[in-house]
Amino acid sequence: MSWILDTAARTLWQEARGEPQEGRQAVAHVMWNRVRLGQWGPNLATVCLWRSQFSGWLSADPNFREACILSDLDPMLQELKAVLINAQAEADPTNGATHYYAASMNPPPDWAATMTFVGQFGNQKFYRKGAALVA
């Protein structure tokens, strides 16, 4: 399990280390929502490494090398592992989101037009397939 959590934490580091806590939590929930759906694999590592899903794992991305050489003892990495563990058990503020993008992107990605917007957390906009869930 440690390599699975480590891969997910490094993905969260790539995707959300500059986000406020609510943004980090929201990205962690996207990862768990994808695990629950099973479309991107059975665990956090397969979800994170699924082809073309998290740009930080593309070798051309500037975060790729940094995430690979990041010390296992890095305080931010440890904090992000805790965010992931907590997200598994807490209520999902994203209402089932499986996708997100930086709010600064203009124009937004094409896929956003076919999905339901569920909210903005930090500096990212979150989406899910189908109608919004009712709490």
Domain harbouring 10, CATH code: 1.10.10
Domains in the chain: how many in total? 1
- Is 78 within a domain? yes
Residue 41's contacts (CB-CB under 8 Å, 6 or more residues apart) are 35, 47, 50
Mean confidence (pLDDT) of the chain? 93
Report pLDDT digits (tens) over 88-102.
999 999 999 999 999
Range of the domain at 40: 2-93
**Where does the pLDDT of residue 130 fall: very low under 50, low under 70, confident under 90, or very high at 90 and above?**
confident
Lowest mean pLDDT among 10-14, 55-59, 90-94: 55-59
Cα 134 from Cα 126, distance rounded (Å): 16
Q: Using the Cα atoms of residue 21, residue 24, residue 30 and residue 32 in order, give the sign of their dihedral.
A: negative
